[in-house]
Amino acid sequence: MSKYTFPAGFLWGGAIAANQTEGAYREDGKGLTTVDLIPAGPQRWPVMGGKLDAFEPQLGLMYPSHEAIGFYHRYKEDIALFAEMGFKALRVSVSWTRIFPNGNDTEPNEPGLEFYDHLFDELLKYGIQPVVTIAHFDVPVHLVQTYGSWRSRKLVGLFERYAITLFTRYKDKVKYWMTFNEINMLLHLPFVGAGLVFSEGEDKRQIQYQAAHHQLVASALAVKACHELIPDAQIGCMLAAGSTYPYVCNPEDVWDAMNKDRESFFFIDVQSRGAYPGYAKRFFKDNGITVEMEQGDEELLKHNTVDYIGFSYYASRTASTDPEVLGRMTSGNVFGSVDNPYLQKSAWGWTIDPLGFRITANQLYDRYQKPLFVVENGLGAADEPGPGGEVADDYRIDYLQRHIAAMGEAIEDGVEIIGYTSWGPIDLVSASTGEMKKRYGYIYVDKDNAGNGTLQRSRKKSFHWYKQVIASNGGNL
């Protein structure tokens, strides 16, 4: 029996994204999107960082996301399983190129709109609230080719039109929205976050911050439109969160850790407080970055701030200014964190830090004083079914149990949290590796890294555990 009390109506559930689950990447008129061009394997990281050779999938490379887990055709079966676990919410994303295959088409693609109509109807049938991310790591490839993606102001209006199309169509079905998934990822994986491709010798930071401004303006326009078109909806931002600790108490490390956090907070400071913070202006000045704004941008940002702070939390980060410590950086983390000797790590080198979750939640609430929504959290592991066919994922239960307890503590600390949608309630394609091997699900999907398997779904041990967590509103961890 846990000692935590979660608010009535707390939104327990899970979170998935179109490109990591749907597959059907060219069906029913869908256009190519940036994520369709990111292969698994050694080319993945260079492409995610903005080195792209061709604007179409390449022969001989693997793109597991093209089929993914076939959610596009199996969503009814999957939603029935989520309903069996008692989900109150499912976070999904809409694939931009199902709606506007080229991003700048004159009319939206009706079959794409219908797919999400059916998806939302199916969720609502079970009383599951759809929580919709408008852009989860995808930009229409046509817009990358034609305008250089978010480096161009042109994307602002096209995104606004896309968002308005969604609000108008789904206003009676969707009451929770989010603009850009992990908006700060634009700085770390620019092709993933903003479809940015760089040529040799370009000033990347200048381009990234200009693109960031365009996304921030686009986000504010979407907030404005959402408030006008669906007055009873809530629309939030989404941050890849995780506090940064100083490696030692040397003030140099403390200052470095603070600035690393500010790199991320910058986006939310604009989206939630409505203005560019002083530290960002100083950073631009010191680094010769000029962010071009149009007249009216500042007013727009000021008056169209988000209703809640959505965030993902997987791990905390650690910063050091000591060259010797920096030499021991952990591999495979996009934030350039150094090893924290107090913490264990997952098989993929992500720190496991439940107290860090409580710290992060407190920090975000102290800073923004707005409701928080935990829209991703979970443990990626290489699950193997046992002899009886069931995955006994006690390690996942342990991770989630400790993190949900930390969230309970944060709520006791006075932090307002409206929901918790753990990442990948059904196994899906990993964003960082592009593979199936790194699994997060309560539901196992029979598909291996080479793409073999029946795609059959089966319940893991954690399925039964999460079901009773939800049934007891977190009382039974």
Binding residues for ligand BGP, rule: CB under 6 A, are 17, 20, 181-182, 240, 312, 376, 380, 423, 430-432, 438
Smallest gap from residue 25 Cβ to ligand BGP (A): 16
Helix crossing, 461-471 with 394-412: angle to 10°?
20
> Between residues 6 and 176, which has the closer beta carbon with respect to ligand BGP?
176
Q: Least distance to ligand BGP from the beta carbon of 350, Å?
A: 8
Q: Give the C-alpha separation, 57 to 294, whole Å.
A: 36
The residue (of 133 and 272) whose beta carbon lies closer to ligand BGP is 133
Quick one: 271 or 430, whose CB is closer to ligand BGP?
430
Half-sphere exposure of 346 (CA within 13 A, CB side): 24
User: Could you give the C-alpha distances from 19 to 69, 72, 178, 233, in angstroms and in order?
Assistant: 10, 10, 16, 25
> Min. distance of Cβ 317 from ligand BGP in angstroms?
14
Q: Are strands 344-345 and 351-352 parallel, antiparallel or unpaired?
A: antiparallel
Q: Which is nearer to ligand BGP, 41 or 111 (by Cβ)?
A: 41
Residue 441 Cβ, how far from ligand BGP at the closest point, in Å?
12
CB nearer to ligand BGP: pick between 66 and 153: 66
> What's the CA gap between 212 and 301, in Å, rounded?
13
Q: How far is the CB of 132 from ligand BGP (least distance, A)?
A: 14
Closest distance between ligand BGP and the C-beta of residue 89, in Å?
16
At its nearest, how many Å lie between ligand BGP and the CB of residue 93?
9
User: Using CA atoms, how far apart are residues 35 and 12, in angstroms rounded to an integer?
Assistant: 28
CA atoms within 13 A of residue 27's CA, in its CB half-sphere: 12
Q: How far is the CB of 431 from ligand BGP (least distance, A)?
A: 3
* Torsion sign across C-alpha atoms 174, 179, 184, 189: positive
Dihedral of alpha carbons 467, 470, 475, 477, sign: positive
Q: Is the dihedral of CA 168, 157, 176, 465 positive or negative?
A: positive
Determine the Cα–Cα distance for residues 132 and 126; give it in Å rounded to an integer: 17
Name which of 234 and 333 has its Cβ closer to ligand BGP.
333
Which residue is catalytic, options 22, 182, 376, 409? 376
Instruction: Compare residues 269 and 427 and give the one whose CB is closer to ligand BGP.
Output: 427
- 298 is known as an active-site residue: no
- Nearer to ligand BGP by Cβ, of 11 and 428: the residue is 428
Two tokens, residue 268? 């939310």
For ligand BGP, give the closer residue by CB, 145 or 346: 346
- CB 170 → ligand BGP: shortest distance, Å? 21
Query: Residues 288, 293, 298, 303: what is their CA dihedral angle, to the nearest 10 degrees?
Result: -130
Q: Measuring CA to CA, which residue among 392, 464, 443, 466 is closest to residue 21?
A: 443
Residue type, 253: D
| Residues that are catalytic | 376
